[in-house]
Structure 1
Amino acid sequence: MSPAAPSSSPAAPSFRRRTRATAVGAALLIATSVAATGGSAAASDGAGAGDRSTTREAAALTGTAKLYRSLGDDITFSFDAHLAAEDTGDPGRATGTFRFSHYLNGDGAFAEVKVDCLVTGGKVAVVSGVVTKSDLEGAEGERVGVTVHDLGRKDRLGYSWASTGSPVDQGPLPKCVSSAPFETVKAGTGDFTVLPWEPRL
């Protein structure tokens, strides 16, 4: 389905096979638990009681939400992606998972992804990873990327297969590559949280 309406648009995350006209979405089973975005740890610096130094992780993208669709498609994305403080200079060392799914009238697909890159700037995050599990034929082993704009209750989202309609058809993808966040989150379904990356430049 198209982000706005016509099912013929290639921009939708429909996971359609070229031989099928039904919407088959990209997959997410909502994570049973999402790590807190703070991820900071306080530790004594040895200077005396009460003196502490705090180190936060370098970047993070967490949360779950559904995308808006006028026809009622059930499209859900969930993220639990993190870049540790010690890896601030290498976004390719990010860890975690993200998941997404797209269903309409009982037809669709899901995918589970192992994170391999995370870059955030202000309230925008780009995360990528390799599909480890999916019921979309040909999706496993493919790298996909997603962009999130953290706007509170009006978050936006984009994905690397926006111009092809399916991750299977997008071709090889470098790490941390995605599209502009042109989708909008369905009201009342939750929101995403982006922890800004602050590399030493």
Structure 2
Amino acid sequence: MNRRTKIAAVAAALLITAGAAGSATASGDGRGGSREAAALTGTAKLYRPAGDDITFSFDAHLAAEHNDDPQAATGTFRFSHYKPGFPGGYAVAKVDCLVTGGKMAVVTGVIVDTDIKERLGKRVGVSVNDLGKHDRLGYSWVGRETDLEVPPCLSSAPFEKVEDGTGDFHVLPWQLEYPTE
């Protein structure tokens, strides 16, 4: 199976999983229980006039019982960048923090699979602004210093636009519980 076919198969599996997770999240646990504390799901391609194929997919969740600990988030996210004449690559990160507020989310994770071996084991951060079909996205590896140590729960502002019609990110806002006394 060639590389593009493998990538398409993995992306399709992630979309199906993200869709099922999004449906389950929206309806609670189906038994009248509480909803997740926070979630970020979905897939989109970034807009690039030069035709680069840059895709981000998320399946990140914070369970209700961990509402006070965003570093207990679970799941994965994936990103890839391909362009004719450019070596390109992909990475899969295991989520280690998820913070959401309104339509915004920041997720970090440690890269557990990649074809760029020097990135294996590095933490990266991604931010998302869930704006329907006009979502925006940012990432921690922007600027001159792309080898910085990224702390959990940290990324840049969502400065990138997604390609028209591809934005399907869904952010479930975190609902903090404040002490009453």
If the length of structure 2 is used for normalisation, what is the TM-score?
0.84
* From 54, 59, 65, the counterpart of 2:44: 65
Give every structure 1 segment of 4 or more consecutive aligned residues whose post-TM-superposition deviation is greater than 4 Å. Answer: none
Give, as a single letter, the amino acid of the residue that structure 2 aligns with 1:144. Answer: V
* Distance in 2 separating the partners of 1:141 and 1:164: 21
Give, as a single letter, the amino acid of the residue that structure 2 aligns with 1:183. Answer: E
What SS does structure 2 have at the residue aligned with 1:170?
coil
Residues 119-198 of structure 1 aligned to structure 2 (within 5 Å): 119-164=99-144, 169-198=146-175
Deviations 1:23-56 (A, max 9, x none): xxxx99525032422422143xxxxxxxxx4310
8 Å contact 1:126–1:177 — kept in the other structure? Answer: yes
Aligned equivalent of 2:4? none
What SS does structure 2 have at the residue aligned with 1:153?
helix
* Distance in 2 separating the partners of 1:63 and 1:31: 11
Give, as a single letter, the amino acid of the residue that structure 2 aligns with 1:36. Answer: A
Aligned equivalent of 2:3? none
Range with greater deviation from structure 2 (32-41 or 60-69) = 32-41
8 Å contact 1:146–1:157 — kept in the other structure? Answer: yes
Aligned equivalent of 1:36? 21
If the length of structure 1 is used for normalisation, what is the TM-score?
0.76
What SS does structure 2 have at the residue aligned with 1:92?
helix
* Distance in 1 separating the partners of 2:12 and 2:55: 11
Structure 2 gaps of 5+ residues are: 1-6
8 Å contact 1:42–1:55 — kept in the other structure? Answer: no
8 Å contact 2:134–2:165 — kept in the other structure? Answer: no
Aligned equivalent of 2:94? 114
CA-atom RMSD in angstroms: 1.8
Aligned equivalent of 1:99? 78
What SS does structure 2 have at the residue aligned with 1:115?
strand
Q: CA deviation at 1:164?
A: 3.6
Please state which structure has a larger fraction of its residues in helix: 2
* Distance in 2 separating the partners of 1:183 and 1:99: 16
Percent identical residues: 60
Q: Bigger relative contact order, structure 1 or 2, given CA contacts below 8 A and separation 6+? A: 1
* Distance in 2 separating the partners of 1:135 and 1:42: 39
Deviations 1:103-158 (A, max 9, x none): 11053010000000000000000000000011113100000000000000100000
* Distance in 2 separating the partners of 1:36 and 1:82: 9
8 Å contact 2:97–2:152 — kept in the other structure? Answer: yes
